[in-house]
Chain A
C-alpha cells in the first residue's frame, strides 16, 4: 500500500435506512490505490449495501462519497463504471449464450451506439489480452460461457470487470465456488492488479484468506463501522470477536466427546452413480458425525444426493440394518433419512411460503387426517421446532423469503428434524451463513448426534469438518481416498488426500506445515 498516495475512494459517514432496518449507520471506508482492502462482517452487517451504494445501485440517505479526492454522487451503475469502479458480484452476471470474448466486451457493448458495426476480431483480441493479464493464455475466446465451469466463469467475470479502465475493483465473495488451487490463482491475479495500482475491495467470509490476501481489514457489525486494522496485526479470533461482538471460542470445535453407539444407521456398499461416484462404501453409526471432504468435482456432492434418492445409483444402501431402494426423496424420507441441500435459496427453502409451511412440508402425514390438513397440528409442530432451534421470526406466518440466511437454514433443518430421521445428511450446511448462526447450527447437530441420530456432512469447508466430525472421509475422482479420525484430522493431510495423493503422504504434508509455521516465527 502506498500511504503517500491520496485515497482513491472515500465513503464518509454513509447511512442507509430501509423500512424497518437501519442497514448502514455512519459507516466510513477509505481505500487507497494499490491496496487490497477486505470488508468483513456477518450477514446483515451491511457489506453488500455499502458496496451497492459504491456501485450506484442504491443511494445513501446520508454521508459523502469522494472519488480521487473529489466529492461526487453516484446516481446509477453506469456512472460508477464510467468512473472506473468495477464490481464482481457473488452471483455471476454473464450471458451464458454468449462467448467468452463477447462477455468480456459486454460493458463496452452497453456504451457503444447500437448502430455501430460489430468487430468480432477486436472483441477476441481484447478478451485475449485481458485474459493474458490474468495468466490465462491458452483460452479459446470463442467458447460459449455456458460450457465453462463455475470457476472459469468467475475468471471471465473478473476479466470483464478489468477490461476497461479500472481504478477500483470490488469483489463480493468471489471464491465461494473455487477450489484451493483456483483460489490461489485468483489471489495471484489480485495481487498483480494491486501492484498495478488498482484499489481492491474484497468482501469475504473466509477469514484465513482475508488475512493472507489483504493489506487492511474493515469490520462492520449490524450496519455500524467497528474497526479498520492492518492485516499484519490481525488474527482470526480477533476478527471474529469484532464481527460478532463477543468471543466465539467453541465455534469450530465439537464440545462433546465421541458419542457413537454400536448401531449402524446407514451403510453404503459399492455405491456408484453416473460417472461421479465409483464404488464408495462406508457406514455411519448412531450418534456419529461423519464428514465427507473433497474438491468440487470429487463426487462428494453426487454421493450425498444419491444417498437421498436425488440421482440414480447402483450398489446397496442399508438404513437401520434394512436394505433400502432410494429411487426418490420421498422413499428416502420414508426410510428415515433427512437431507439439508446445499443450495438453500433454490432447493432448500420454499421462499414464497410461510415458516410454518416450510417446517411441515416433509411431515404432511403428521399434520393431516385423511388428506385434510389440521391447522392446529401444523402450528404446534412448527412452533415446537422454532422454539427448539431458536429460529428468530415475527410469526409462524412470516414469509420464508424475508428471513436471514441463518434463520432460513434453521427452518430447513427443522423440516428435516420434524421427520424424526435416523440419518441426517447435510450438504454445505453453513454456506453463506454468518458466524453466530453457524455456531448455533453446529450446536444443533451435536445435540442431534447425542440423541442418537447419525449425521453425515458433505462440506467444502475443512475447518468445519475438522471441528465437527468424529470421522472424515475424503473423496477424490469418485473414490474414497482417505479416512481420518478425530485425533489425526488436520487440513494439510486431508487436502493432500483430496487432491489425490495417497494417504500415507499426510505425514510429509504435516511436516511441511510445521516447518512453515516455524519459519513464520
Chain B
C-alpha cells in the first residue's frame, strides 16, 4: 500500500512538478484531515465488525450546534464540549441500537443518519449558519475558533492537519497498545470467541461507536471553523462513504477483525493525493470521480484476490 502511494507520488511529481512543493503537500494534508479524523474512528467501528453510516449527520449536527452556541455568546470551550458530547451521545445511541437493540448496524446507523440530519434541520430551520461577527459572535471567541479551523501552527502547518496527526497518534496507541484495542480486534474476529474469553462484546462495540461519534463531532466543528459556515441540508452529505472508502482502501475489512490505523492513514492519503494530483493535472471532475472509484475497487480487489489465493492453500 505504501509502495502504491510512493509510486503515485513519484508519477505525479514527474507529471506536475508543482505537486511536490511543500505548500501543495501541506495543502493535501489539510484537505484530507476532516475525512482522516473520521476514518480513524471508522477503523475502530469496522474492526469491531460494525459500520457507521451516520457520521455525515453527526458531523453536521455537532458543527452546527457548536456554531449556534458560539453565536449565542457561549464560551468557546463550552460550545466545543457540547459538540463533542453530541457526537459521543449519537455514537452511544448507534452502539446501543446495534448491540442491545439487536439491529444490524447498517440499519441502525442508516436510521440515525436520517434522524440526526432531521434534528439539525429542525434546530437551524434549514437556514445556513454563518459564524462571523455580524451574526453576534464575540470577537475573541471567533479569533480562537477561526485559528482552530484556518490557522497554521508556527505559521506553517495547518491546524486541521495538526488535529489529524494528534488523533491518528492517539488512535494508533489505543488500537495497538491497549487492552481495549485488543478487545476490538477480538470482538471483530469472532464475537462468540471473544465472549467465551470473558470479553464484554457489547460494551466494546458501544465504545467503538462512541469514539467514532466523538471524532465525527470534532471533525464537524473543525470544518465549520474552516469554512466558516454550514447548512443542515448540505453539510457532510455523503461524507460517510468517503470515510468508509478511505478505511477500506487502507485494509480495514467490512467483515471485521482486520485493519490498522497506519493502513487507514495510507488509505486517506492515497485518495487525497489522487484527487489532488488529478486536479493539478487538469483532468475533468467527471473523470476524477470515475478514476477514484476504480482505485477503490482495485485496492480492495487486489487485497481480496491475493488473500483468496492464501485461503485456497489452507484448504
Contacts and interface: CB of A to CB of B under 8 A. Distances in A.
B197 A415 contact: yes
A20 B179 CA distance: 35
Contact of B197 (A310, A329, A343, A352): A329
B198 to A, nearest CB: 4
B257 to A, nearest CB: 4
B258 to A, nearest CB: 6
B152 interface: no
User: What is the interface of chain B mostly: helix, strand, loop, or mixed?
Assistant: helix
Interface in A365-380: 365, 368, 371-373
A346 B193 CA distance: 7
Interface string B187-198: 001101111111
Interface in B155-203: 177-183, 185-186, 189-190, 192-200
B172 to A, nearest CB: 13
A20 B314 CA distance: 10
A161 to B, nearest CB: 21
Contact of B195 (A329, A349, A365, A419): A329
Contacts of B198: 329-330, 332-334, 362, 419
Contacts of B195: 310, 328-329
A372 B197 contact: no
B196 A357 contact: no
Contact of B194 (A20, A350, A373, A401): A350
Nearest to B311: A401
Given A348-B196, A372-B177, A357 B182 contact: yes
B3 interface: no
B186 A361 contact: yes
Contacts of B258: 352
Q: How large is the interface on B (under 10, 10 to 19, 20 to 34, 35 or more residues)?
A: 20 to 34
Contacts of B180: 371
B313 interface: yes
A349 B181 CA distance: 18
A350 B190 contact: yes
A262 to B, nearest CB: 29
A361 B179 contact: no
A140 B169 CA distance: 61
A365 B186 CA distance: 15
A401 B314 contact: yes
A148 interface: no
Interface in B260-315: 313-315
B189 A350 contact: yes
Nearest to A341: B196
Contacts of B181: 373
A353 B192 contact: no
B314 A373 contact: no
Contact of A372 (B179, B257, B315): B179
Given A364-B182, A368-B179, A402 B189 contact: no
Most buried by B among A339, A365, A373: A373
A54 to B, nearest CB: 15
B313 to A, nearest CB: 5
Nearest to A362: B197
Interface string A311-344: 0000000000000000011101110000101010
Nearest first, the 6 closest Cβ-Cβ pairs linking A and B are: A330-B198, A333-B198, A361-B197, A362-B197, A347-B192, A352-B257
Interface of B: 177-183, 185-186, 189-190, 192-200, 257-258, 313-315
Interface of A: 18-20, 52, 308, 310, 328-330, 332-334, 339, 341, 343, 346-353, 357, 361-362, 364-365, 368, 371-373, 401-402, 415, 419
Given A332-B198, A334-B198, A353-B185, 14 more contacts: A310-B196, A330-B200, A333-B197, A347-B193, A347-B196, A350-B257, A352-B257, A357-B182, A361-B193, A368-B179, A371-B179, A372-B177, A373-B179, A401-B314
17 contacts: A52-B315, A310-B196, A346-B193, A350-B190, A350-B193, A352-B258, A357-B182, A361-B199, A362-B197, A362-B198, A364-B183, A365-B179, A371-B180, A372-B179, A373-B178, A373-B181, A401-B314
